Amino acid sequence: MKGFGQLIQGKVLDQETREPIDFASVYFDGTFVGTTTDSLGNFEIDITKYSSRSLTVSAVGFYSESIATLTSGEIHRVELIPRIFSIEEVSVSTQSLVRKRRACMRLFKREFIGLTSNARRCYILNEQDISFNYGSDQDTLRAYASKPLRIQNLSLGYVFTYHLDCFEYARKTHTMRYNGSIVFNRDLAADEASLKRYSRRRAYAYTGSSKHFFRALWTKTLQSEGFAVSGFISEKRLMYKHLVFEDLQGRKYIQYLEDLMIQYYPYQSYINFLNEKVYFEKDGFFDPTAILWTGTMSKQRIADFLPYEYIIPE
C-alpha cells in the first residue's frame, strides 16, 4: 500500500444546510498538491508528502477550514461556515466611487502583491471579484474577495489561486494584516529555455527569505548560508541548540524567551513570537499565524512567494 501513496477520503458539507458542496478546493497550503470535491462533496487526496500538515478546504461563499489530523481509512467530514460579506458599496457606478475603487485597488495591490521587482509582472486576473469598504471616514481599508483570486506571476513563472480570508490596512499606522491560503496550479517553466528565464529570479526571491531561513535552521546550516541570529534584547548570538526543540512526535519547533533578530548580510529581519512554540518543517513550512515579521523579510509579499516544492538549483 505504501508504494501507491497514502490516500485519505473526505466529504465537504454546508454547516447550515448539511448539503454537500461540490467543486470545493482541498489542498496543502503553498503547494501544488490539491484536488476538488465531486458533485456529492466527496474527495480523495494523496497526503504522502505532507502527512504531518493540516489539509485546507475552501469553497466560494464559505470560510476556509483545516483538517489537522489526517487518518487513512477514515472519512473526514468537513463542515464549512457560509461567509456573509459586510460591504458598504456593491455597485460602483458613480464617478466618485470609480475613483475611490481605483485608489483602494492600488493600495491593496501594493500591500498584497508587494513592491519588489517581482510585483511588476504579477497580476490578479479577476480584480472584479474584489470589493472594498469605501467609507471615507474609516481609517482601515478592508478588502473582500467574493471568489478565489486567480494570480499569474510572470516574473517567477507560476499561476496560482489565493483564497483570501481577511485583508486590513490601517492608513494612519501603515500596518497591514492578511490571512489566506495558496494552491499552485501551473509551473510556467515548461521547457529548459523558460526554466532558465525564471530560475535566476526564483533563486533571488528565495535567498534570504523566511523559507530559506527555516530550511537552513532545519539543516543546522544557518552560518554557512549567511544567517546570524541573536536575541532582540540581549543581543546574544544564538545557535541551533538554543532555538530548536522536538516534541514527543519528533516534530521540530523554534522557541525562545525573547524576540529574535535575523541578520542576512546587510539585511535585518525580526521575529516577534505570537505563539510559545513555532513548528516548522524541512521544506521551510511554518505556521504563519505564530509569527509577526518585521524588517526585510516582512517586505516580501505574494509576488515573491515560492511553492514549498521549490528547490534551488545546484
pLDDT digits (tens, 9 = 90+) for 34-84: 999 999 999 999 999 998 899 999 999 999 999 998 988 889 999 999 987
Residues 9 and 54 in one domain: yes
Exposure string of 142-177, with b = 16+ CB inside 10 Å and e = fewer, is bbbbbebbbbbbebbbbebbbbbeebebeeeeeebe
Query: Residue 13: its pLDDT value, please?
Result: 97
pLDDT-based confidence at 289, cuts 50/70/90? confident
| Whether pLDDT at 223 is above 50 | yes
**Based on the domain organization, do 221 and 275 belong to the same domain?**
yes
pLDDT at 105: 95
Residue 36 lies in a domain: yes
Partners of 183 in beta bridges: 31, 161
What pLDDT score does 1 carry?
37
Confidence of residue 172 (pLDDT cuts 50, 70, 90): confident
Mind listing the pLDDT tens digit for each residue in 90-146?
A: 455 566 778 889 999 999 999 999 999 999 999 999 999 999 986 655 788 999 999
Give dist(CA 198, CA 184) in Å, integer: 16
The percent of residues in the chain predicted with pLDDT above 90, rounded, is 77
Whether residue 212 is found in the same domain as residue 183: no
For residue 3, what pLDDT is reported? 46
Residues in contact with 189: Cβ distance below 8 Å, sequence separation at least 6, in sequence order: 157, 195, 197, 198, 199
Residue 100 in domain: yes
Whether residue 194 lies inside any domain: the answer is: no
> Looking at the structure, do residues 109 and 177 belong to the same domain, yes or no?
yes
The tally of domains found in the chain comes to 3
Answer yes or no: is 196 within a domain: no
pLDDT score recorded for residue 2: 42
**pLDDT surpasses 90 at 19:** yes
99 and 22: one domain?
A: no
- Looking at the structure, tell me whether residues 211 and 179 fall in a common domain: no
pLDDT of residue 174 exceeding 90, the answer is: no
Listed residues 152, 187, 222: the one ending a domain: 187
Q: Give the pLDDT band (50/70/90) at residue 277.
A: very high
Single out the residue in 22, 54, 80 at which a domain terminates.
Answer: 80
Give mean pLDDT, residues 264-290: 95
223 and 296 both lie in a single domain: yes
Structural domain includes residue 175: yes
Query: Do 169 and 255 sit in the same domain of this protein?
Result: no
Q: Mind listing the pLDDT tens digit for each residue in 149-163?
A: 999 999 999 999 999
Is residue 86 one of the residues assigned to a domain? no
Domain hosting 183: range is 95-187
Place of cell 468537513: 78
Please report the pLDDT score of residue 89 as a whole number: 45
Same domain, 173 and 128: yes
When pLDDT is averaged across residues 9-14 and rounded to a whole number, the result is 97
Domain end point (choices 131, 152, 187): 187
Which pTM was predicted?
0.90
